[in-house]
Every structure is written in structure tokens, then in C-alpha cells.
Amino acid sequence: MKKLLFQLDTDEQPSSFDTVVAYDGGADHVVSYASICPENVKPIIEGTIFTRSPKEKKNTALFVGGSNLEAGQSLFHAIQKQFFSNFRVSLMLDSNGANTTAAACIALLTKNHTITGMNAVVFAGTGPVGQRAAVMLAKEGANVTITGRQLDKTQKVADAIESHFSVKVTPLAAPELIDRKKIAENMDIIIATGAAGIQILDAKTWQDSSRIKLLADANATPPSGIEGIEVMDRAVDRFGKISFGAIGFGTLKLALHRKCIEKLFESNSLVLDANEIYALAKDMVKD
């Protein structure tokens, strides 16, 4: 029986990245839909849950993607509302690669470091990757701050994180470099998840700090999000701090994304969001 993955994208054009990884993760056929939202998803879900027998249902799976995490989350929840008894198929949420990217980054960061009680900041943490990185750091017991250029947007993101994941993160506005330098003074961990090609922090701030221990930068497009961190860094010692760059953890991100797709076809009841994907990432980085 063919393994079918229905790629439900909230954008007008489905992500070709997600399509490729779906095949690489083991799908025999990927059906990509664009502009999917809670209002138009019903017939697609009915077609996936009412067709195959209970034993065969694990060969059908759903993937929710797109650039907007909020839209992805709404769709993800609407889909689950349609499931009942065994009329369900496995489902994964990874809007803009948020879960797999953040999980790879934080799993590597915490592989050899216990971060409970540490202060962590996710600079430009209002995007999909930053939001999920904040959740995972908080679940590890860190005191997490997220920043954005506007307080109201950052506050909304912090509220959404609390309502979805029951963890508190502190929202701060940091529109200028000087604001981020000040915040960095009290941090043990610095994560930058700014938009591609946006420099968020200068080199001097972290290189001169006696407090900062761990740094990660998700941006792979020059200039780097944290000046002085190289994209290939993977637990590199720089100025006595351990550094991770976007490609340094990007290889794990890709492997994790593929692993998630593979797992979707193992049963018809798997639901993969931040917690489950982070657990898988932690498992993959175990020695």
C-alpha cells in the first residue's frame, strides 16, 4: 500500500522544501495543497480518515506547513477537531520549519549543558523559529526572554506561547542594538532568530561578556545574525563560549524533519508539535 502524505500549506504556494523532505522522509506520494485554512480543510480530512481500513490508515498522513505559524496552529487544531475514535491519521505541524529548526538547535545546545535556572534570550523571537525555541528553552527550565521591535507584538507572542504550552516567557521590546546589548548583559544563553540576513547582535557584546556561555544563530544568510558566529559552528569554542551556527544545526534539522515524516507512517495516531518533535531531537543527539 502506498504511503500518501497530504501537505497542507497555509500559503498561496506550497513549500517545495517541505515537498522534497516529505519524499526524502519516506512518502511514496505527496499531495500538496495551497491556501488551506480551517474553513476549507474539511473535505480533505474526510478523504484521509474515511478511506483506508484501521490497519491501513497508518499509510496516510498529514503535514501542516506554510510561513505563518499562527495560521498553521489554527489549521492544526481544526484538523484534530475532525478526528474521532479511530477515524484519524498521523499529523505534523512545522510552519516555516519552526518545530524542527528550533528542536535541532536547542537539543544540540543542551546536549552537554544543563540550562535549568539559566537566563536565556531569544532575540527577534517573535517569528516561527524563535517562538518554538523559546518554548523548548522554557521546558528545559531556563528563564526565557523574547524580544521583538514592538512590545505589543512581542507581548501577543508571549501570551500565545503561554496559552499553547503553559510556559511563561518575558516579552521585551528591543528595536535597537543598544537595547539588545543591555538585555544581553544579564544572559547566560543568547539565541538569535531574526529574519534572514538581519544582524541582531554585534561581536563585542558577547565576546567581552564573562556571563554568556552558549550562543546560537538561526540565520544562514549573510551577514550573520550574531556577528562573529560562523554558519558552520557546531559546539565551537569561541572566546570561552560554545557557539552554534545555522548550518551547524541545520543538518540535524533536516535529519529530524525526515525522521518525523518517517514516524508519521508508523501509526495513525501520532500528533507531532513542539514537545514531541523536541523529544525526538533529544533522542537523536544522544550518544
Binding site for ligand NAP (CB under 6 A): 96-97, 101, 124, 126-130, 148-149, 153-154, 193-196, 198, 218-220, 246, 250, 253
Phi and psi angles of residue 101, each rounded to the nearest 5 degrees, phi first: -70, -50
CA dihedral 106, 25, 65, 15 (to 10 degrees): 110
Q: Which residues lie closer than 8 Å to 139 by C-beta, 6 or more apart? A: 165, 167, 275, 278
Q: Which is nearer to ligand NAP, 63 or 265 (CB)?
A: 63
| Phi, psi for 148 (deg, rounded to 5) | -155, 175
Shortest spacing between CB 189 and ligand NAP, in angstroms? 17
Name which of 119 and 193 has its Cβ closer to ligand NAP.
193
Q: What is the DSSP letter of 58?
A: G
Strand order in the sheet with 29-33: 29-33, 4-9, 60-65, 90-93, 271-272
Nearer to ligand NAP, 65 or 148 (CB): 148
Least spacing, CB of residue 56 vs ligand NAP, in Å: 34
**Residue placing its CB nearer to ligand NAP in the complex, 105 or 264:** 105
To ligand NAP, the closest distance from the beta carbon of 270 in angstroms equals 22
Q: How far is Cα 128 from Cα 250, in angstroms, rounded to an integer?
A: 16
- Between 42 and 153, name the residue whose CB sits nearer to ligand NAP: 153
Of 49 and 242, the one with the shorter C-beta distance to ligand NAP is 242
Least distance in angstroms from the C-beta of 111 to ligand NAP: 17
Using DSSP's 3-state secondary structure scheme, residue 228 falls into coil
Exposure on the CB side of residue 119, measured as CA atoms within 13 A: 10
Residue 247 CB, shortest distance to ligand NAP, in Å, is 7
Shortest distance in whole angstroms from residue 67 CB to ligand NAP: 7
